[in-house]
């Protein structure tokens, strides 16, 4: 088989029409869930009332939709999308279906840094530094995991095992910070750690969108290496790839995406685990379409969780992370049992 045939084969797998038709269908599902999120709440809106609210933002229902529900739904989508792509990257790089930001310690690092910032630096410095603190915590945790797992290179198995230990250690750090913090900080941090988009505004949406866009640009440039990441290290090296260098770069990108998601929404556990698996089942071969599906499934999971959290138990408005965890925990156990067998 000549080089032209190989290139055409890779192109057809990555940009196959069936895969992109599924992506388009998934986009429509996300758009439908968005519309349902805008219509449901303490004030229920029928389709005509929703259309009126969308076209007339100055009316009372228009203010509800434009200033309360729409930024909240979009922020949930962005958080889920970032976690979905982060989890997909980690599973590709580590060649392990159980890898995700929360399981290997990345989310724990972001949470520990964010809670420390809330406890000690939020008052003097303001909340603007929280995303930077969370992202630095996530990347610091990833660097620590990578360093501890290094022994003449890094293997995916060592990364996962080291990450699980790091997650436990950083969870203890977070608990210690909460135990020594003022009561008001502890209460707000507990809600935040569960995962919530309560009180979202347009400033949050625009800031997170900018961070996500900035991180997706280098990811697009590295997509060839992401697709080849599941190859055996010896085979990838034989093809001329700098395996360790690109593995470190992709791990840093995955950590940064998880960090910014945690900064704006808290620790939504299992999104980065479930979304890539759903994308893999729907798309088949890895590639750009599969990454987009992981992004969309992540957005869909958090949007649905937030919709349930704020409508199913009215007048209570519960943290959406509770419902993501309720879905993700049995999913993780099923995966674990399948891997053991």
Alpha helices in the chain (DSSP H): 3-14, 17-39, 47-55, 60-63, 70-94, 106-120, 122-125, 130-149, 156-179, 183-194, 202-221, 223-228, 233-238, 243-265, 271-283, 288-311, 321-340
**Nearest one of 293, 282, 262, 285 to 194, comparing CA atoms:** 262
**Nearest one of 82, 83, 86 to 251, comparing CA atoms:** 86
Contacts of 318 (CB under 8 A, 6+ apart): 309, 310
What is the Cα–Cα distance from 274 to 294, expressed in whole angstroms?
Answer: 9
pLDDT in tens, 156-198: 677 778 888 898 899 899 888 888 877 666 776 776 678 888 8
Q: What is the pLDDT of residue 322?
A: 87
Task: Work out the percent of the chain whose per-residue pLDDT is above 90.
Answer: 29
What domain count does the chain have? Answer: 1
pLDDT in tens, 73-99: 999 999 999 999 999 998 888 877 777
Q: From residue 321, how far is each of 60, 217, 314 by CA, in Å? A: 29, 28, 17
Is 277 part of any domain?
yes
**Nearest one of 264, 130, 262, 266 to 195, comparing CA atoms:** 266
pTM passes above 0.75: yes
Q: What is the pLDDT of residue 74?
A: 96
Is 83 part of any domain?
yes
Is 225 part of any domain?
yes
Is 246 part of any domain?
yes
Distance of CA 339 to the CA centre of its chain: 23
Q: What is the pLDDT of residue 85?
A: 95
What domain range includes position 331?
14-340
Is 8 part of any domain?
no
Is 3 part of any domain?
no
Is 4 part of any domain?
no
10-residue averages of pLDDT along the chain (341 residues): 44 57 91 94 90 90 92 95 94 81 86 86 79 86 85 71 87 87 70 81 93 91 78 64 77 89 86 90 79 94 93 86 84 74 65
Q: What is the CATH number for 245?
A: 1.10.3470.10
pLDDT in tens, 37-67: 999 988 999 999 999 999 988 899 999 999 9
Q: What is the pLDDT of residue 9?
A: 46
């Amino acid at each position: 088989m000549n080089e032209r045939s190989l290139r055409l084969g890779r192109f057809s797998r990555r940009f196959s029409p069936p895969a992109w038709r599924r992506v388009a269908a998934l986009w429509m599902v996300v758009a439908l869930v968005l519309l349902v999120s805008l219509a449901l709440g303490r004030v229920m809106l029928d389709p005509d009332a929703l259309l009126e609210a969308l076209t007339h933002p100055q009316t009372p229902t228009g203010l509800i939709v434009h200033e309360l529900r729409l930024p909240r739904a979009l922020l949930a989508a962005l958080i889920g999308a970032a976690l979905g792509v982060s989890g997909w990257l980690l599973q590709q790089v580590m060649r392990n279906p159980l890898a995700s930001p929360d399981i290997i310690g990345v989310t724990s690092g972001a949470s520990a840094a964010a809670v420390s910032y809330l406890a000690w630096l939020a008052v003097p410095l303001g909340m603007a530094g929280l995303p930077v603190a969370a992202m630095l915590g996530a990347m610091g945790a990833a660097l620590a995991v990578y360093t501890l797992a290094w022994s003449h290179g890094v293997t995916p198995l060592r990364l996962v095992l080291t990450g699980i230990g790091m997650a436990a250690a950083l969870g203890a750090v977070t608990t210690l910070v909460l135990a020594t913090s003022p009561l008001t900080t502890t209460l707000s941090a507990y809600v935040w750690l569960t995962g919530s988009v309560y009180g979202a505004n347009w400033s949050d949406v625009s800031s997170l969108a900018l961070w996500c866009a900035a991180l997706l640009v280098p990811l697009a440039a590295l997509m060839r290496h992401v697709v080849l990441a599941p190859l055996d290290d010896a085979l990838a090296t034989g093809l001329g790839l700098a395996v360790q260098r690109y593995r470190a770069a992709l791990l840093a990108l995955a950590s940064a995406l998880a960090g910014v998601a945690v900064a704006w929404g808290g620790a939504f556990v299992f999104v980065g685990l479930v979304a890539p698996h759903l994308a893999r089942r729907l798309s088949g071969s890895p590639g750009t379409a599969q990454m987009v599906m992981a992004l969309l499934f992540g957005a869909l999971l958090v949007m649905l969780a937030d919709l349930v959290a704020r409508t199913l138990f009215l007048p209570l408005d519960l943290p959406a992370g509770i419902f993501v965890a309720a879905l993700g925990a049995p999913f993780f156990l099923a995966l674990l049992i399948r891997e053991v067998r």
